[in-house]
Structure 1
Amino acid sequence: MSPRYDLAEILELAEQPGMTAPLIKEQLGLRISLRQVQRIIHYHLGQRPTRAAIERRNPLREAVVSHMEESGLSRYYCHEGHRTVRPCAIRALGRELDTFVFVCVQQASHTDF
């Protein structure tokens, strides 16, 4: 029995900015449930933070954001090259605090907090 979806196609679309599980399901004409598409993305690409999680008051996150802004970064400018209206998520490019960058929610991955 062949699989009901092409994993590579799902992941390729999921990595594009702005592509959500409902859009992927519709574009590929998948016969699997929306929840299953979300599980596939989460398993292979990691959980992406919600806007609510990014904007929620968190003293540790605020300290990290403050340090990043003192280093010249803006919480409203995505490392990937575009401005945002809402605060961005944080992505660690390395193990040091100085390697943290801001990314829009669409570019966020499991390395965010």
Structure 2
Amino acid sequence: MSAELSVLAVTYVKVPVRVTESGASVDPTGATVQMAFTASDVDPVSGDWKTASWETDATTTPDTYLARCLVGSAVTLAVGTYDVWVKILASPETVVDRAGFLKVV
């Protein structure tokens, strides 16, 4: 995922998430999801994680699940380039992935 947005915008940053079990697509929206925005090549620490939510696109087969975090409101980012991280808390697993980057202009 790579995206660019204005520092003046208030918008969701969305990351597609695909979860499978035994080869079948699984709905992850029952799990807690968080996102972090860090400087390039910097791993997130506990204070970096922000509340995120799920969005489902049912127009695709299988459904597409998106982790999303509202940037420009409670989460503000200065002009720059950030790594975008997604953390899914699905007991007993905690999945953490760098999803791409975001350029704020």
What TM-score bracket applies, with the shorter chain setting the length? under 0.3
Higher strand share: 2
Question: Which structure has the larger Rg over C-alpha atoms?
Answer: 1
More helix by share: 1
When the two structures are superposed, what TM-score results if normalisation uses the length of structure 2?
0.24
Query: Higher RCO, 1 or 2 (CA under 8 Å, sep at least 6)?
Result: 2
TM-score w.r.t. the length of structure 1 is 0.23
